[in-house]
Structure 1
Amino acid sequence: MSKTTFDFNEGEVLLIDKPYQWTSFDVVKKLKFALKIKKIGHAGTLDPLATGLLIMCTGKLTKKIDGFQQQEKEYEGVLVLGKTTPSIDLETSFDSETDISHLTETDVIEATEKFKGEISQIPPQHSAIKVGGERVYKKARKGIPVQIKARNVEIKAFVITKIQFPEVHFKIICSKGTYIRSLVRDLGNELNTGAYLKALTRTRIGDYSLNNAFQLNDLIENFSKKQ
């Protein structure tokens, strides 16, 4: 992104490539204090172990956050068949292993068909949604299961781009509220092998592309040089 001058109080829409292992709120805090922004928020949470496009709104444009959250999302990622973790990613240790030697590429591709269109999915126990006023991941980390209601989402595309067992590379286009980890978990269950998410990058939100996003440190450095 070429823009280097900003008016954060009047309002800016900033595209950030969220770093690996940062929470979305970590990015909010970093920008708020590094750039002295009074009012800032993000549109659409990314898990700490995911990377990619995070839309930040400042000043008067924070009122547009809900509009950005409603837009479709695009992701690219890698799942691994035959192993599971409680968090469905690498945040937690492996808790099961299953032989996958019988699987074929056709098995995997055909299984994705069940998860296209409007589907019902249950968010992961390790997620930031609130149940009873508390983030469910806090209880999950203590080993306390929480009853989470299923939600309806739309999977507009679920494309397998490469298979090199046990790894499966994919691209997904989906509606707001979709949990990619839940898709990975449910695909693993459909194949009777289990699965976990190894890597995930959000590449697009609506018309906004990761290709136009700032690296976090680059944005801070570029702005600081203008002061």
Structure 2
Amino acid sequence: MNYTIPTTSHESVLYVSFGSLARLPHAQLVELAHGLEHSGHSFIWVIRKKDENGDSFLQEFEQKMKESKNGYIIWNWAPQLLILDHPAIGGIVTHCGWNSILESVSAGLPMITWPMFAEQFFNEKLLVDVLKVGVPVGAKENKLWASMGKEEVMGREEIAKAVVQFMAKEESREVRKRARELGDASKKSIEKGGSSYHNLMQLLDELISLKKTRTCEKPN
């Protein structure tokens, strides 16, 4: 990845990733690209190579962003943990997959939630309504079971508006505060004496005990 995340502006870059399974139709990719550009905020966008579908739009958009230095596209895979831990990252657009949620929470980052299918809509409710560290973009339909028609595509204006409001420090102050608090709590949980540390040690003890039991039960 030949890209240096800007370090001059704290929490100024938006990270965009929809995981390895979700696939956005071309019309939505176009609207998302324009929405990110029109927001005026710097971004890093991870796109699967096969989402190109033989179209040159994404290559042209990538070149345009390289020239403007306002956005960067990473194809197929990105070192997500390293990116999320960078101080310039101000949040993530996520499909609400559980792994991405855990990584974002651990980094203390708020999320723009854009669920695609299955339990991701329930995960969004947890982030938005319970933990209050997520801001919904407005996705309503399960994309695994339904085909996305033109009327169901999230428009560039809606996307740009959501990004602008999300990245504005004043408007998202409380969400960011809660995200940082949750991030601190998650780090404490893996320290010695923390809940995650305790659970892992308990699991190891049980596995060791199980091995000893099976060893004793073996016939001589």
> Over alpha carbons, which structure has the higher Rg?
2
TM-score, normalized by the shorter chain, greater than 0.5: no
Question: Which structure: greater strand fraction?
Answer: 1
* Superposition TM-score, scaled by structure 2 size: 0.23
Which has the higher relative contact order, 1 or 2, with Cα contacts under 8 A spaced 6 or more apart? 1
Question: Which structure: greater helix fraction?
Answer: 2
